[in-house]
Structure 1
Amino acid sequence: MRSPVRKRQLSGLGHWSFMFGEVAIWSFAVLLVTGVFLMVFFDPDMSPVLYQGVYTPLNGVPVSRAFDSAMRLSLEVRGGLFVRQVHHWSALVFVAAVALQLLRMFVTAAFRRPRVPQWLIWVTLLPLGMAAGETGNVLPDDMLSGGSLWLIQSALLSIPVVGSYASQLLFGAQFPGDTIIPTMYWAHVLVVPAAIAVLLAARERLVRRHGHSRFGASAPGRPGARPLMAGATIGVLVILGLAFQIAPIWLYGPAGPGQISAGSVPDWYMGFLDGALRIMPGWELTIGGYTLSLAVLVPALVMPGVFFTVLAGYPLGERLVLRRLTRRDALGRPKSRSRLAAELTGPAVLDRPREAPVRTAVAAAGVGFYGLLWAAAANDQLAHQFHLSVEAVTIFFRYAVLLGPVIAFWLTYRLCLGLRLQDRHVLEHGQESGVIVRGAEGGFHERPMPVEHERQPAALSPRRP
């Protein structure tokens, strides 16, 4: 006879927000299948050749073998363009699903013990997904690929002392060299996918060990939820690959040192980096004869490094803070070690976002900060569309990325408090039924329905740390 925890494990999804993890898993599966197909036809070689394919505007143009094979794969191999576009869309969806999964875990406190390892797995999957996308973007050796390589080299050169050595090790003596695409190829098809597969397998094992977390008012998922999510994810990716063009390299042309297309923007998950580079002032700092380019170092390396470090260490930091705040009970007596450990352990029933207004507001501020940086990556296009100067749009975003998160925090915090007050009203007066009855005094009033939540609303529940 199967235990209730085992039944919940087999039942699949219990709440719609749990679909993000499933979408990440199945989009990664599509990435593997389509990637194997693309490996058969792609040649990661930077040797120069003359293009002689079916796309006549480029006939006779010197290109690399990597670009030539990508063009033949897209326009001459039967089904090649479809598979390539599904592969690209799968990468975008995978990173989006991982980011949404992290956001869901953060606002519902699903990162607490015993699920800290799962939180760390998802935190690691986010930069790995971004690395997989970027290493894949440079492989066709088109104009956008060249822009990505310039950004990578600039970030490496901004590192104090060792930056120039790292750039020479990766690109060789002269940019872009003839080894960068083969290096990125093996990282893209072997190293990064293997790391992602190991982490997803470890995550699945942890879920089977600890069981699925759930919301108090949600019922266990249906037995067919996981196959249904697999079919939905694959179906959406197929539709995207068929109907929506992405990365048309024949329109971009081959990469050339010092050249980039107008209006070029990276994939959505790297938009924050492009936006930060565009609005960062051109500050420099000279220390001991070394000049630090803060305009590149801070947005390209310091800011992402701090973000992922804080994200990974948040469960430990919260645990230490809560241990200090909840060390004594209401009467001032010290709590026993076992009781304190029980209170600091993540519950099987998740918090609703309104139950932790500060944490939810912090998440909203982070999303707002990222969204503004993402929009800043299109400062030139916004200036062109609204007939403004690029300098004016850039200055606007410099102030917006500082004030916008504060406004998002305040609005979200007030919204959570309002929802808590609504919970209190429902608990005290019952749910609206729409049934009007006449009282003994002759007046009319609505007959409320009893509250049927499995969990007590946050407005009247014991205060959570």
Structure 2
Amino acid sequence: MQVQARWVGRWSRQARTDHWSFLFAQLAIHSFLVLIVTGAFLTVFFDPDMTQVTYNGSYGPLRGIPVSEAYASTLDISLDVRGGLLMRQIHHWAALIFVAAITLQLLRLFFTGAFRRPRGLNWLVWVTVLVLGMVTAWTGTILPDDMLSGGSLGLLQGVTQAIPLVGTSLTFLIFGDEFPGEKIIPRLYWLHILVLPAVLAVLFVLRHRLVREHGHTRFPGAFSGPASRGSAVAFLLATGGVLALLGTFAQINPVWQYGPYRPGDITAGAVPGWYMGFLDGAVRIMPGWELSVAGHPITLAVLVPALLMPGAFFTVLAAYPWIERRLTGDRGIHHVLDRPRDAATRTAVGAAGIAFYGLLWAAAANDQIAHNFHLCLYDVTWFFRVAVFAGPPLVYAVTRLICLGLAYRDQKESEHGRETGRILMSPEGGFSEIHEAPHRPRELTH
């Protein structure tokens, strides 16, 4: 019996729940592998040098124009290297899907309570992967040294200069003696291709060890079975195939259309990657406030939305398992997931956070909204300024009421059965509704 118990315990730790939402983690890992492969190809041809040269490549409109070596090599990869444009676009799409998969994985962990003991460290790993994934993708957009790259560099300069006391020194440390200088892209290049991927790889290995140690969570009554290597390989091939199709048919980041970066120039319609949209929106709707403390100016218009707000957001996100444990007093071990409706307060908090993020994300398009709907840009900006504070509490209240209502309906069904809408007349002439017994998934034991 002891041998059987040990075998069952080992099998249950390696078991997985066959549910579609568990694919988000695999999608993130598979996208990361595609990024490594395509990034290795691009590294062979990319030159992270900001020295100015005269472009003499195959793209006629820019021929004879002074550009950096980084921009020229990006054009060569896109237009002259066989398969280069395909690899660039696959790499870019994989970066976007990588961050999206991590975000969806965190949402699944949050709304199902999969962050509770003993998986608090697993939650912290995924939050760290999200932050590093965003930074990695963002540094990748800077490397081509095109006009969109310049916009990201301008944001980096503005944020570092807004830091009190050390902002100016930190800016010189990052950029050198002038902006943008010739040092920033080589520095970000090594950060992008070596440091950040290595840290992400270590975190994925740590996550794998945690899963082997604690096992997979499962939904109540769900069937658990041993993980299939064949299905994992099939999903990896499917991920690579979809990314290849996107890279072939969906154009993204056409740097030859944006042109090389020139300080002081702007590009119409330039927007950051979707994962950085909330920062852009926060900067756009923040009033132009500035303080002076002990003779030192503090630019709140940049410091608050671009540094303090995201810092507070991700700190609370990382600490949420411990915050919930402290508030609820729940220190038990959990291997079975919650349905979102059964944790009304947590679900409402998550919905409020999504509303806050979504409103900031939409605020990044305040100019496009005003233009396309023929509205006053001033009015649209003020709408988002009010909505980011009023929207999340409203979403919290509505979501909590919905969850409580669904939970109450489930309770009534468990007591009296599910309403069918069919009426039965008794021989005595009375009428009654037919109720069906609620469906309960059959728990399979081994």
Q: TM-score range by the shorter chain?
A: over 0.9
Choose from 40, 43, 50 the match for 2:47.
43
Matching of residues 77-96 of structure 1 within 5 Å = 77-96=81-100
Choose from 173, 180, 183 the match for 1:176.
180
1:212, distance to aligned residue in structure 2 (A): 0.2
Choose from 114, 121, 135 the match for 1:131.
135
CA RMSD of aligned residues (A): 2.0
Summarize the Cα distance change of 1:83–1:4 in structure 2 as closer, same or farther, 3 Å threshold.
farther
Structure 1: 4+ residue segments shifted above 4 A: 8-13, 432-445
Contact 2:351 2:399 in 1 (8 A): yes
1:298 aligns with 2:285: no
Summarize the Cα distance change of 1:145–1:441 in structure 2 as closer, same or farther, 3 Å threshold.
same
- Name the % identity: 56
1:103, distance to aligned residue in structure 2 (A): 1.4
1:140, distance to aligned residue in structure 2 (A): 0.3
Choose from 193, 217, 221 the match for 1:189.
193
Deviations 1:371-400 (A, max 9, x none): 111111111111111122221211111111
CA distance, structure 2, for counterparts of residue 391 and residue 108 of structure 1: 40
Contact 2:17 2:217 in 1 (8 A): no
Choose from 375, 379, 382 the match for 2:362.
375
1:271 aligns with 2:277: yes
CA distance, structure 2, for counterparts of residue 209 and residue 38 of structure 1: 37
1:238 aligns with 2:252: no
1:419 aligns with 2:382: no
Match of 1:449 in 2: 437
Contact 1:47 1:65 in 2 (8 A): yes
1:195, distance to aligned residue in structure 2 (A): 0.5
Choose from 24, 29, 34 the match for 2:28.
24
Matching of residues 112-123 of structure 1 within 5 Å = 112-123=116-127
Choose from 251, 258, 261 the match for 1:252.
258
Total equivalences in the alignment? 436
CA distance, structure 2, for counterparts of residue 95 and residue 450 of structure 1: 39
Contact 2:419 2:433 in 1 (8 A): no
Deviations 1:293-337 (A, max 9, x none): 0000001110111111111222222222233xxxxxxxxxxxxxx
TM-score (norm 1): 0.89
CA distance, structure 1, for counterparts of residue 11 and residue 244 of structure 2: 32
Matching of residues 206-225 of structure 1 within 5 Å = 206-220=210-224, 223=228, 224-225=230-231
Contact 1:115 1:346 in 2 (8 A): no
2:40 alignment partner AA:
V
Q: The residue matched to 2:440 in structure 1 has which SS? A: coil
CA distance, structure 1, for counterparts of residue 9 and residue 282 of structure 2: 45
Match of 1:337 in 2: none
Q: The residue matched to 2:224 in structure 1 has which SS? A: coil
CA distance, structure 2, for counterparts of residue 99 and residue 28 of structure 1: 14
Deviations 1:73-108 (A, max 9, x none): 011111111111111111111111111111111121
Contact 2:13 2:214 in 1 (8 A): no
1:261 alignment partner AA:
T
Match of 1:391 in 2: 378
Contact 1:427 1:451 in 2 (8 A): no
Contact 2:106 2:126 in 1 (8 A): yes
